[in-house]
Amino acid sequence: MGLKAQALHLEDRTYEALEAISEAEAPAEEFEQHACRAELHRLRSVVLTALGAEEIQIEASFCAAISIAKEQKAVLLVKGAEATYAKYRRRASIASIGIL
């Protein structure tokens, strides 16, 4: 479902991507697939950003992605979530000063 969400997002089917992420969360939680949960939170952040969601929602998803990945000692997932978050922060700061 995470891959489906990613594909939907790349096709600019953002609302459908968010629905796919929501659908994937319950099984990931039920079967304690923490790595999947971390990636789903990272992806949710990206999709929420594309939708122009509230910054607090976006930040919360990024924090959850990083936290879950760190708890699992999943170095690649931590680095991926941190890199995506840094990219988001750069874009947000550029937008706030009116460059974009």
pTM for this predicted structure = 0.84
Asked if residue 100 has pLDDT above 60, the reply is no
- Amino acid symbol at 9: H
Question: What range defines the domain where residue 40 resides?
Answer: 2-96
**Number of domains within the chain:** 1
* Listed residue (70, 71, 97) closest to 85, CA to CA: 70
pLDDT in tens, 19-60: 999 988 888 776 666 678 899 999 999 999 999 999 999 999
Token pair 């978050």 in the structure block, residue: 85
The confidence score (pLDDT) of residue 1 equals: 77
Q: What is the CATH number of the domain that holds 18?
A: 1.25.40.10
